[in-house]
Amino acid sequence: MRIHTRLTLAAVAVGALALAGCTESGTSDPSATSDDIPASAAGRMSYGAGYALASSVQDQLDADFDADGFKAGIADALAGVDLRVSDDELEQARDDILARRASSEGQRAAVNLDAARAFMAENANRDEVTVTASGLQYQVLAEGEEEAPRPSADSEVVTHYTGRLLDGTVFDSSEVRGQPATFGVSQVIAGWQEALQLMKVGDRLRIWLPPELAYGERGAGRDIPPNAALEFDVELLEIVR
């Protein structure tokens, strides 16, 4: 059926957009609510389904979600009206948004890379900072016993850590959670792999990773932008094996 084809395309468009970052706000305020909460079991189930659908689509489209467009689509579907947007129009809308996002992300990545390089160059001049051949930078905050063991690339370790962007924003912290993290040395990003093998149990380092030793151009989710230099405080608590 034609309607089924278009609905499938709409779902694909939403899924594709969910894979990209977002930069432009939608045109509507989705904050309007309804006071008519159905009392029947069927009514409440239908309400819950509608709420879940709207929440899911809004989360996926994020700042590109348009509440008026969404409401119009729901109204037409409930009225049994054929889609008023063609397959070609849906595809074009998806492609336009993806192209805009890609361009914006590229510009953001370039700005971040310049900022990362400038910071790493300046930070390397500090007396307390050591720079390795790879570009990793570190400062010793605390030292363990001289004879304490050191991990290898095959080791599994227990650490406490706090990760920050260069502006001081904390994006992850086992210390805040109050739960140390256990993982294989070879399972983490390149900068961490190198830093851990420089440490012995009881050491605490502050490390700075250029983008190529962290998450590079792809970034990591919404918390770590593309080409971000990162700062971590890392304490090696234990070598499990």
What is the rounded distance in angstroms from the CA atom of residue 13 to the CA atom of residue 91?
A: 7
The domains of the chain are located at 2-85, 121-239
Q: DSSP secondary structure string, 47-93?
A: HHHHHHHHHHHHHHHGGG--HHHHHHHHHHHHHTPPPSS-HHHHHHH
Share of the chain above pLDDT 90, in %: 60
pTM of the prediction? 0.63
Contact between residue 83 and residue 4 where contact means Cβ atoms under 8 Å apart: no
What average pLDDT is seen over the chain?
A: 85
For the domain spanning 121-239, the CATH number is 3.10.50.40
Give the residue numbers marked as catalytic: 161, 171-172, 189, 215, 232
Q: What is the tens place of the pLDDT at every residue in 154-203?
A: 999 999 999 999 999 999 999 999 999 999 999 999 999 999 999 999 99
